[in-house]
Amino acid sequence: MSSQTANEIPDRISGRVIAILLTTVLAAVTAAYFGSLRLFEAQTVSVSDSQHALYLRSLNEALKKHQHLPFVLGENPQLSENLGSGRTEELNATLEGFAEASGLEAIYLMTLSGDVVAASNHRLPSSFLGQNYGFRPYFQSAASGERSDYFAIGATTGRPGYFVAEPLMAAPGDVSGVIAIKLDVSELQASWEERGEAVLAINEDGIVVLSSNPAWLYHTIGELDPARRAAIAESRQFGSQELPRLAWVPEGDARVAVAGQSYFLTSGPTEVVNWTVHYLRAEAAVARQTWLATGVMGFFIAVLIGFSVFLRSRRIQAALVVSQRQGRELAETNARLVKAQEELERSSKLAALGQLAASVTHELGQPISALKSHLFAAEIGGEITSPETLNNLRRLADRMEATKRQLGFFARRGSEDRAPVDMALVIKEALGLMAHDLEHIEVAWTPPAAPCETMGNQLQLEQAMVNLLRNAAMAVAGIEAPRIAIDCATRADQIVVRVTDNGPGLEGVSLAKLEEPFYSTRSSGEGMGLGLAITAEIIRAHGGELTAGEVAGQGAVFEMTLAKEGT
């Protein structure tokens, strides 16, 4: 860097740069805040879903664990037979054994009047023996022949429990009593409290029956209908609890405020009873995480951006030089990519054309041969009386066969062997093949004194030369004094064959366009547009190059460059 350029670099950051720095930092911090907020909210929702599933599964498993037992006991004929026999000691012992084996708080047997005549807890001070539970809805449903489950605070023990009752059948359709079990939910309640998370279960009346926060127990999350409140009080479902209203305020989708604190909310129903489990996760934790992450990210962003701007202000000229160099390299790379893309597109077209050509030549070969045979037979038999018609049919058959031969190149290209070939001989053979088409055209061609040998396939090179001559012949058709000049010469380690005509020239069309299969500047019916495509492909297959240009005044020149044999 020159001293003059170095003096142009500012010694201090300008006010404009500082403003840009502050604006950038503010924008970056804002983006970091909202990005972190969305990230932590998504993480919270994911964790809430997982935790809610765990709590819901544990509650479902606890409630479903002994659902079958009352039914099994209700079908036990021994209990029905002993219900009115007065053998309570035997019944107590039986129920006690069942309770110990299943881990239930109590199993008890009631008469149709609601009196408990046998209980597994008959030895305890809080025994159900002698109690009457006819006021309980679960008893009333079971006594009428229907299974029932029920959550309530025990009228005798004062502990909450989950009750399941089944009718005791003396005979099918004959209810002789009620068998009931009580599942102690205090252990589940205690496990929820120990985990320290906010989770609660509410029943169909919106009353909290289980909660990790004991202060929320037996509160309602909505308004409780007076008639329903009276029915609950009559059944003593919640004992002496007043069932006050919990400060539960929904705050949009999947959010709720409880006692003034906002939570993310995940909810789902249980499988056994009509309860709903709510899992709450405090929004304050997300806010703390977001602000912490934003502060850390903002600090680093500010440092990085400030340092970057400082370096840029001190080395702006050097960065400009690097940028210009990278721009040039990028332009060159883009140019190479464009060329590679064009080559890939061209290769794809030729590959597709090869598949098409193989199919077409296979299908046309036999019909064309048959057509020529029929024409020959018709000529011998005198079936076609008009010579002009016969000649027209022959020309059509020859034209179809020529088209098939052109397409055949794409179907079999690259499969022939290579040998030393004299391009002067190739030109001579091509002129012989084109003699009829060149009758009225002046052809300037002088064979070179020295051989122009290259390594290649003579038939393919003859085809390329014929295509160039046919292209030139078509270009000079219809003009006065048509002329085609052919040159063949050696240049260093190359052989150059040049075909020049005095036609209208390229007419502004690029060689790349002319080489595309089926592209032609002539009117429909004067060619398929495959000549130059085939020629270019043959020359490329021989490691050479085909170029095109216009001569001064009028005309076009096509130049074929091939490697000299032995190089």
Judge whether 21 lies within some domain.
no
Of 284, 319, 342, the domain-final residue: 284
Q: How many CA atoms lie within 13 A of 298 on its CB side?
A: 19
Q: Assess whether 429 and 554 both reside in one domain.
A: yes
pLDDT band with cut points at 50, 70 and 90 for residue 275: very high
Q: Assess whether 227 and 260 both reside in one domain.
A: yes
What 8-state DSSP symbol labels residue 469? H
* Lowest-pLDDT choice from 130-134, 328-332, 368-372: 368-372
Q: Assess whether 359 and 263 both reside in one domain.
A: no
Of 412, 439, 471, the domain-final residue: 412
pLDDT at 527: 46
Residues 6+ apart with CB under 8 A from 513: 519
More confident residue, 172 or 132: 132
Q: Assess whether 249 and 333 both reside in one domain.
A: no
The mean per-residue pLDDT over the stretch 268-296 comes to: 82
Distance of CA 498 to the CA centre of its chain: 55
Helices (H), 238-386: 283-314, 316-381
Distance in angstroms (rounded) separating the CA atoms of residues 333 and 112: 95
More confident residue, 361 or 468: 468
pLDDT band with cut points at 50, 70 and 90 for residue 349: low
CB burial of residue 388 (10 Å; 0-12, 13-18, 19+): exposed
Decide the pairing of beta strands 442-445 and 483-491. Answer: parallel
Distance in angstroms (rounded) separating the CA atoms of residues 552 and 473: 19
Residue 181: C-alpha distances to residues 119, 191, 401, 449, 479 (Å)? 10, 22, 98, 119, 114
pLDDT band with cut points at 50, 70 and 90 for residue 526: very low
Write out pLDDT tens, residues 541-565.
Answer: 888 998 888 877 678 899 999 988 7
Q: How does the average pLDDT of the chain come out, rounded? A: 79
Judge whether 140 lies within some domain.
yes
Which tokens hold the place of 484?
Answer: 């085609």
pLDDT at 22: 73
Of 135, 157, 184, the domain-final residue: 184
Structural domain for 536, as ranges: 417-563
Q: Assess whether 359 and 458 both reside in one domain.
A: no
Judge whether 99 lies within some domain.
yes
Distance in angstroms (rounded) separating the CA atoms of residues 458 and 419: 8
Q: Assess whether 423 and 551 both reside in one domain.
A: yes
Judge whether 178 lies within some domain.
yes
Write out pLDDT tens, residues 436-477.
Answer: 888 889 999 988 888 888 998 888 888 888 889 988 898 888
Write out pLDDT tens, residues 70-123.
Answer: 888 877 777 766 776 667 788 888 888 888 888 888 999 988 999 898 898 888
- Contact predicate 25/301, CB 8 Å: yes
- Contact predicate 164/148, CB 8 Å: yes
Q: Assess whether 422 and 558 both reside in one domain.
A: yes
